[in-house]
Each structure stands twice: as structure tokens, then as C-alpha cells.
Amino acid sequence: MPKTPPQKRTAQIVPKKSTKKHAAIVKKVPPTTLITGGTGFLGAHLVRQLVESGAKDIRVMATSIPEWLTGLGVDTLEGSVTNDEDVARACEGVTEIYHLAGKVSREKDESREMYKLHVDGTRLLCDAARKAGVKTIVLASSSGTIAVTEKGDVVPDEKYPPPLDIIARWPYYASKAYQEMAALERFSGRGQRLVIMNPSLLLGPGDDRLSSTKVVLDFMARKINAVPNGGLNFVDVRDTAKAFQAAMTKGRHGERYLLGAVNWTFVKLFDRLGRLTKVAAPRLALPSRFAIAGAQVIDSLFRQWNFTSPVEADTVEMAEYFWYFNHNKARRELGFTPRDPGDTLNDTVRYVKENFLGGKWS
């Protein structure tokens, strides 16, 4: 048989294959997972857990990038969810988003800032995500958009009517309720999945901004002089981060998932903290109407004098309500299993003492 002519050999695609291989080496593959607010209390735990699990294609957007984050080898982007250009850049190449960016505050003066961040920012993100072809958004909200009652005689679940008449007086929870509505409106369509997570008070180690664990610091610093009449639910931040990961793959579109460990009165919480810290728990308990009214008068007077008030009136009022609920849905659908609350309290106390009170925890 005659040999193949030289021109036939030059028609082979070997050079093209080698070019493609070279391009694959030099071309940077964009991250597939975006985390907004990845430097906050919950966000930091989520980022670290994802990295430890072997996830590599992660991008974190935050208003400032700390050194510990750059050391993890993730892609970082300094920006805000309230800036449309930042949001558009953050969503490039992304297929899934953990939206955790937010601000925790009990101050009415910061209501406009919280609305802009939680509501307007979420609208921008959802619009950009839709344009970028994002498939799933897991949104961090709060149990306070669902589970707040006056008497604690019911234990709500996700089907409980939102207590808008109660939370409307507190800017943080009102803005989170509107955030959920905005997300459901802007990110709902074919091929789009939105999962809403509603954790209670986050406790555990690592809250360097005291966004959630200030109540423990105040107790240990003997700043709490009376026991509120209400009750709370709290959950370990580490368990919450794991539940968020499960929601990314298992959560159902448009569904809310309450995340909590225990329903305790403040009497029980302070009693447990007292045993752990050897700090005597307060025993004085005022009728709700006197506690709230007194706090409001003191707060108002100090504000008129341009001084920092020794009490937070809204915080006192919130503590007179009951923030109870059950987490059966999250347990059933996401495999959520919170650890023993005593372990969470112990780790929280240890972190607060070593990082804010200058002591070692034995």
C-alpha cells in the first residue's frame, strides 16, 4: 500500500489537542460557590467547614478581607451587596450562593441601613444571580421572622403565621421578614431554587464582633441585674453551618427551615451560665410592663443628654417575649442534629473569657 501523503498527516488534530490542554492549564476556572458575608460569625464557620471538606471553587465577598481568609486559598472579592457592580462581578461563573451578608443591631437608628442591606441588597443579588445562571441560593434569615409569641403557650413551626404585628416594632426582624419576601419574589422560576434558613440565637466560639454572644459577655461582666420574664431558643453556630451545607443539596425551593437546639426560659439560661462561670445569676424579676417601661424611660433620658444608655430598651422588650419553636422539619429533611446545649454554652463561655475578659478557661 502507498504511504499516506504528507498533506494528509498535517490534517490531524494533534496540534489542536495540545493547544486545548495548554489553555486548560493557563485559564483560571471561576469559582462555582459564592458566599456573601463570609467573614461574619456564621460565615467564617461555613467557609472553614467548606474548605476542610475539600471544596475548592469558593468565592467570598465581604466589605473587607481579613488575613485569615486569604490564608485559606479561596477567591476573595472586596465589595458590598448594595453595590450592583460588586454584585455582578461576584456572581460571574457562580452556580450556587450562600447569602449571609447582614447586620445584627437592636438600634432603631440603624433601621434604614439594615433595610438597605437586607432588602435592597438581596434584590440586587437575586437579580444578578438570575442573569448569571445561578441555580440555588441558600438565604440566612432568622427564627424571629416566624417564632415569636407573647406567652410561650405555643411552640411554632414553619407553618406558624408570621407575627408581623410583633416584629414590626423591631427594625432588625422587620427587615429580615421583608428580605425573605424580596428573595421569594426575585428568585423563583424554572431552574431556580431558593432555600430560607431561620436559625435562632447563634452561640459558640468565634464571635469576635459579639453579634450574638453579647448576652453571655454581659452576664459574665455582671451587667445583667434582673431576669427577663420571657424565653429564648439558641443553637450552636457550628451545627448551623453544617445545616446550611445540607440545605444546598437537600433544601426544597421556597421552604423555610427553623434551626434551634433548646427552648429555655431566661431563668434557666442564667442558672446554667451561673454554674459554668461561678457568677451569681440575678434573682430580681420585674413584671413585664414595669421592665419595659423603665428601660424605655432610662434609654430616652440618656439619648436626650447625648450619652450612651446603660440599657437597651428594645433588648429588654424582646426578652419579655418567647422565641420558642420546634426544628422537626430541619431534622427530618436536612438531617439537622444539634449538639448538647451544655457543650455550646461551655465553648461560648470559654471563648468570651479568653478573648474579651482576659482570662484562661480551665
How confident is the model over 131-183, as pLDDT tens digits? 999 999 999 999 999 999 999 999 999 999 999 999 999 999 999 999 999 99
Whether 238 contacts 122, CB under 8 Å: no
Nearest CA among 272, 262, 273, 264 for reference residue 219:
273
Task: Give pLDDT tens digits for 182-207.
Answer: 999 999 989 999 999 999 999 999 99
H helices within the chain, ranges in order? 6-9, 14-26, 41-52, 67-70, 84-91, 111-115, 121-132, 164-167, 171-186, 214-220, 237-250, 266-277, 288-304, 313-318, 328-334, 341-356
Q: Is 201 helix (H, G, I), strand (E, B) or coil?
A: strand
Beta partners for residue 35, in sequence order: 60, 98
Domains of the chain: 30-356 (3.40.50.720)
Q: What is the mean pLDDT of residues 265-280?
A: 95
Nearest CA among 36, 203, 232, 238 for reference residue 144:
232
What is the pLDDT at residue 194? 98
State yes or no: pLDDT of 336 exceeds 90: yes
More confident residue, 17 or 223: 223
User: Is the backbone of residue 288 left (phi > 0), alpha (psi -120 to 50) or beta?
Assistant: alpha
What is the pLDDT at residue 292? 42
Task: Identify the DSSP state of 322.
Answer: B
What is the pLDDT at residue 224? 85
State yes or no: pLDDT of 307 exceeds 70: no
What is the pLDDT at residue 160? 96
Q: Are β-strands 33-36 and 58-62 bridged in parallel, bridged antiparallel, or unpaired?
A: parallel
Beta partners for residue 149, in sequence order: 322
